[in-house]
Amino acid sequence: MLRWKFNLFPAYRGTGARITYIADDFREVRVRLRLSWRTRNAVGTIFGGSLYGAVDPVYMIMLMRLLGRGYIVWDKSAEIRFRKPGRALYAAFKIPEEELTEIRSATENGPIDRVYSVDLIDAAGIAHASVTKTIYIRRNDRETSSVQKTNEARNR
């Protein structure tokens, strides 16, 4: 059901990508992006914006679901490297339990940034684009003072 909701969300649907799999525990998500009239660029391959849009929200949403309401999770920055043109591409996102344990431990001392990478690959496993995402994570402590929140906002 969640996969269907995600794929019907207008901002994601517009990328041309589709979520093909979400693990029951939300630790793995798979995406497919095919060449179509909506994703085609001027030279007949997948538009760079579709490549990026296909993977953009996935790590942030996975972490939000896995960490729960006790954490604030935001996309902070991203970088994409186009390697070669593509026509049918796939991406797999995985977050192991060890990563969640490290995040919970590290955020005890304040906000952190985590860096995640994912490749958009073809059926043969050849990378056509690589995306690196920096995700900001902090505990959602309601006791944090408004001064601390303002300082954190300035530092982002």
pLDDT value, residue 145: 44
Nearest Cα to Cα of residue 66 among 3, 137, 133: 137
Q: Which residue has the higher pLDDT, 151 or 47?
A: 47
CATH superfamily of 2-155: Hotdog Thioesterase (3.10.129.10)
> Residue 47 carries which DSSP code?
-
Give residue limits of the domains in the chain: 2-155
Residues 6+ apart with CB under 8 A from 42: none
Share of the chain above pLDDT 70, in %: 90
pLDDT value, residue 9: 87
Does position 80 have pLDDT exceeding 80, yes or no?
yes
**Contact predicate 80/111, CB 8 Å:** no
67-76 as b/e, with b when 16 or more CB fall inside 10 Å?
beeebbbeee
Averaged pLDDT for residues 131-138: 98
DSSP characters over 58-72 = HHHHHHHHHH-TTEE
Q: For residue range 94-127, what is the model confidence (pLDDT) as tens digits?
A: 999 999 999 999 999 999 999 999 999 999 999 9
Does position 5 have pLDDT exceeding 60, yes or no?
yes
pLDDT value, residue 152: 62
Does position 40 have pLDDT exceeding 80, yes or no?
yes
Pairing label, strands 127-139, 112-121: antiparallel
